[in-house]
């Protein structure tokens, strides 16, 4: 049995024409780091808040460690929450903020002091216990919020876009620190983000969401290398998607006829024939200058970014992006006729999405 289980969870707010979350089913193992990833409005925060008990599901069931929590009040769920704005108390110092949950639980002063000291040491703020919140940097405030969530020794840690208010460099540092702390103490964690890099860098598994539905669940490598459909391919990383006709599929490999490129091969887990599409990442493509008669297309533009060169190539009626490692060789100028290619394992056939 999964440690945290959501079964057909749905939420539709009064006056809306469709659910914010629909039939969300997920099994999370103890100690897993799960990211809910998707664009704004996809239902990821609503899902997190239903787990926390801040929002009542319209339908479905939530179980934690073998016990149903669907209608359990938030303060009885054993969840630690870190919000986007941290929700710290400005009139309390750092230690008092961290101690708040313990004090509400009626622990003795000596127990509170010991637990607060341990939590602040965990987030490397042991020397700032008497500091006022307004005297802290954004990163320090984030650490205080994390310590406050962890000090109560929750069964599950819930993080709602906790890095979105930090600058880019600090965001990367805190992202790595959160993952390090999570692994150190082994706490089950659900992390909401719209940032693909955060999800890829921290997660054991990623839940990609769109319009209240799950599009794909998988490891970071699975959702990046083998996206389930066009939405996932476009949302996570950059992708060239080619529509064509699947001529043959055998032993996990498909041959796809693409206008302007001819017959190309790709990994195929769906065994479908007829109209289809395949995806290849720009950095997995090869570009080679060639005589015009053999060309797939011509270079439209070239951008040099130091360690790589990015080409935009016109192929038939579409633009294709190719990213090549900068090798010191002369670049291909605009107008150069080129051939494009890739290895079979560098491309994947996408599952056809149902039409409404």
At 307, which CATH number?
Answer: 2.40.50.140
Are residues 202 and 306 located together in one domain of the fold? no
Q: Which of 55-69, 75-89, 282-296 has the lowest mean pLDDT?
A: 75-89
Are residues 276 and 186 located together in one domain of the fold? no
Are residues 13 and 144 located together in one domain of the fold? yes
Are residues 147 and 263 located together in one domain of the fold? no
**pTM score, whole prediction:** 0.91
- Of 172, 206, 230, the last residue of a domain is 230
Tell me the CATH number at 215.
3.40.50.300
Distance CA 2, CA 160 (A): 22
Span 289-294, average pLDDT: 95
Reported as a single tens digit per residue, the pLDDT across 101-129 is 999 888 999 999 999 999 999 999 999 99
Domain extent for 111: 4-230
In the chain, % of residues over pLDDT 70:
99
> Three-class SS of residue 132?
strand
Adjacent-strand bridge partners of 156:
79, 188
- Of 184, 205, 230, the last residue of a domain is 230
Are residues 242 and 197 located together in one domain of the fold? no
Are residues 30 and 91 located together in one domain of the fold? yes
Residue 232 burial (C-beta neighbours within 10 Å; 0-12, 13-18, 19+)? buried
Q: Tell which phi-psi region holds residue 142, choosing left (phi > 0), alpha (psi between -120 and 50) or beta.
A: alpha
Give the per-residue pLDDT at 353: 62
Closest CA to 4 of 94, 66, 89: 66
If one counts the domains in the chain, the total is 2
Are residues 268 and 314 located together in one domain of the fold? yes
| Residues 52 and 128 sit within 8 Å (Cβ to Cβ) | no
Give the per-residue pLDDT at 245: 95
Q: Which of 37-46, 96-105, 130-139, 325-334 has the lowest mean pLDDT?
A: 325-334
Are residues 145 and 120 located together in one domain of the fold? yes
Asked whether residue 355 is domain-assigned, the answer is no
- Of 169, 196, 230, the last residue of a domain is 230
| Residues 11 and 19 sit within 8 Å (Cβ to Cβ) | yes
């Amino acid at each position: 049995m999964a440690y945290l289980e959501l079964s057909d969870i749905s939420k539709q707010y009064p006056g809306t024409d469709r659910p914010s979350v629909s039939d969300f089913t997920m099994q999370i193992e103890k100690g897993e780091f799960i990211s809910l990833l998707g664009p704004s409005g996809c239902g990821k925060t609503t899902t997190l808040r239903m787990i926390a008990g801040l929002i009542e599901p319209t339908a479905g069931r939530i179980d934690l460690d073998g016990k149903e929590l669907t209608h359990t009040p938030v303060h009885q769920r054993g969840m630690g929450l870190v919000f986007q704005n941290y929700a710290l108390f400005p009139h309390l110092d750092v230690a008092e903020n961290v101690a708040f949950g313990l004090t509400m639980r009626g622990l003795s002063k000596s127990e509170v002091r010991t637990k607060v000291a341990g939590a602040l040491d965990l987030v490397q703020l042991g020397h700032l216990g008497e500091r006022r919140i307004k005297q802290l940097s954004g990163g320090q405030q984030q650490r205080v919020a994390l310590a406050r969530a962890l000090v109560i020794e929750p069964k599950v840690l819930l993080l709602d876009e906790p890095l979105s208010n930090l600058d880019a460099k600090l965001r990367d540092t805190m992202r790595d620190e959160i993952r390090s702390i999570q692994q150190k103490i082994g706490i089950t964690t659900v992390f909401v983000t719209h940032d693909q890099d955060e999800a890829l860098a921290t997660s054991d598994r990623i839940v990609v969401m769109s319009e209240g539905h799950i599009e794909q669940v998988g490891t970071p490598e699975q959702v990046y290398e083998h996206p389930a459909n066009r939405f996932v391919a476009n949302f996570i990383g950059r992708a060239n998607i080619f529509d064509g006709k699947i001529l043959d599929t055998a032993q996990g490999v498909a041959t796809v006829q693409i206008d302007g490129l001819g017959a190309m091969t790709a990994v195929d887990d769906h065994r479908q024939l007829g109209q289809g599409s395949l995806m290849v990442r720009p950095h997995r493509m090869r570009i080679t200058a060639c005589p015009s008669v053999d060309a797939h297309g011509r270079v439209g533009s070239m951008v040099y970014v130091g360690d790589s060169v990015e080409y935009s190539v016109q192929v038939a009626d579409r633009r294709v992006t190719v990213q090549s490692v900068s090798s010191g060789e002369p670049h291909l100028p605009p107008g150069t006729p080129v051939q494009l290619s890739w290895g079979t394992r560098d491309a994947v056939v996408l599952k056809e999405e149902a039409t409404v």
